Chain A
Amino acid sequence: MITAWFSLVVLCWVLFFVLEGFDFGVGMLGPVLGRDDHERGAAVRTIGPFWDGNEVWLVAAVGVTFAAFPAWYAALLSGLYLPMAALLLLLAARGVALEFRGKGDGARWRRRCDTALALSSAGIVALWGAVLGVLTHGLALGADGEVTGRGPARSLAPLATWPALAGAVLALFAAVLLGATFLALRTTGPVHARARRASVRLGAGGTLALGAAGMLGLSRPVLAAAVLCLGVTLVARHGRELVAFGATAVGVAGAVVAVFTVHGDVVLRSTLDPAWSLTMTGAAATAPALRLLSVAGAVVLPGVLVYQAFSYWVFRRRVASERVPS
């Protein structure tokens, strides 16, 4: 049952990174690909009905981690105190920028919201990417399961490492590619043309960069990512937008699963002493709590998936920039 719950936690994180990944990407690309108020409006409109539902997967991921693995939740969030506080502030700025954009008055107001949206999206993606990088590397966990050390440096130091930096860069790239393929899929007109071009170029650039990195480091996952980027480039060139978006999403999902399972049943590695690492069993809640969660999850989650799919179906029509009222 513990493994099942670990899988569910990972699934929630995967859904968050894939679904919010594309709306973070659209947030960053909107001001670049949209040349005027209407076009930028169309870009934001492609994610308008979905982003809140997507962000709910973050609430679910954190909530389920807390519920099923309280020790993991406690160690990770207190150990990365300052980055988490920064993430929350950026998420707050982004959420209101999105919701308030269409409710204010005038193009200047919308322009400001677009800038806030792009900057906060980039910051959030970079920080989450860094956190994923930290997860592959581990934290300085002590015997009590808490990160050792004191002071602001304690929670900032893990971010100043190579895995964290690599995570941030890769996450930014992945989100932009997801955003570009999603925009290509969801728009018509000039935004659509630019998004298509962007996805081809990003895919080609990614293929080269990842291919070179993979050969240098001879790392198989990186080579696999390069092959995937090549595939995305090819299908995007041929106008198969759904396939291109789907392939990018699968790639991101694969990367997230890889990060969470890189140390086997260790959910948080201790960089000080392997014996202090947090394992699935060590971090898990008691059996009655997990049983309760299983019942709730089995009843509720299928329903969630059905009505979220319904909302994607309702808003399946492409967004044209002319349609958005100014």
Chain B
Amino acid sequence: MGAGLAAAVVPGCAAGGGGRSGALQVWGGVPAASGPGDVVKAFREKFPQYDVNYTRFVNDDRGNLKLDTALQGGVDIDVYFTYSQGAMALRAGSGLAADLTDRVSNDPDLKVFLDTEQPRSYIDNGKVKALATAREPFFVLFNEKLRQQAGVDLPHAWTIDEFRSTAKQLTTNKTVGAYTVPDIARIALGPNYWYDGNRSNFGDPHFEQGFRVGREMIAAGTAFPWTEVLARHLDAYQQNSFLTEEFHLWSTAPFNLRYLYDAKKYPHDFKVAFAPSPTVDGKDWNGGSYSNFIMINPESPKFEAAWAFVKFWLTEGATPMLKGGKLPALGGVTDDQVITGMLGKEPDKYFDMDSFRRVVLEADPKLATDTRLTGFPEITLAVKQQRDLCWLGEKDPGAAIREVRRLADAAIARNERRP
């Protein structure tokens, strides 16, 4: 068993060639040791007739290009994951995703994937092409030690203005209140918030509000200085600054919890408490989404095996993914499994469990998954570039958002012209 399974989950073992093997070939962005290896193991125990190879690709531009060229080049891939919405639109729209509509429609366990209000699937021209395997709600983490020192109440529900004033209360001459402001426009507008008909939606005042509040908080010293964020490339390493108490309010998602219970790798002496994402003017979309979409290659000659694997992952097999902070999209896990899976062996030592239960286990936040994706990569870049200039203090929020609007409109128009 050991040797066989080891071979099954060794990254890269399925790559190359182009010839078809007997084993089901699954490509994902999560390292096998962080959950997928155990999912594969459980699947093979339940379905011994199927062999599975899991290949990891790094979920960045180059890794995704590798997957795309492999899919196009006829490399033996049956099931694969897509993590970014931009890649989703391209792959689904370019015939790289099998139509799963009938399978989903005919299965009572999976009917929820047909929901279009809070979509858990990617539906392309009425056809289900991809299914979310994970639920990634956002929440706000508090450094519990400093919260108590500052005498700040742990919010059960709060607005973005209260978030801002709390960040101010937590700011001292040594520490910054918050890393950054949550995405105000997302909270107010929900899914597809970048689009309004055939144009972009950046004329909505919540976008400028988001840029302005972020800039004002940085200027006031209650949010992390953006010069530091860029100079130290902190966006990818926010956890380090939270753990070293450089800031105390952290709007984030479950995948970052893994840094907070590993005292050997990430030593710290404080507990972490949870608060829900703040609301904006009575609007309460969460910044998180359904994500980690699983897709089947339409060229796969092993569709039945592939579908068995996809369904297993969705309905009963995703528990091992908790260790990477991936809550199963369909639930199907007990609270104890979530706690031990996501919070390590000594959850009480590192987390305020009451707030965890309230915010993560018992809450049902509105998760917004984008399904309109025209010009998505171009708009993503425009938002990032102009936000950086605005938060560095080099550009007025109004001018920055107008530039985003101009670039986004151009991107939408250009992409809609394309065949």
Q: Are the chains A and B members of one assembly?
A: no
Residues on A lying within 8 angstroms of B by beta carbon are none
Residues on B lying within 8 angstroms of A by beta carbon are none
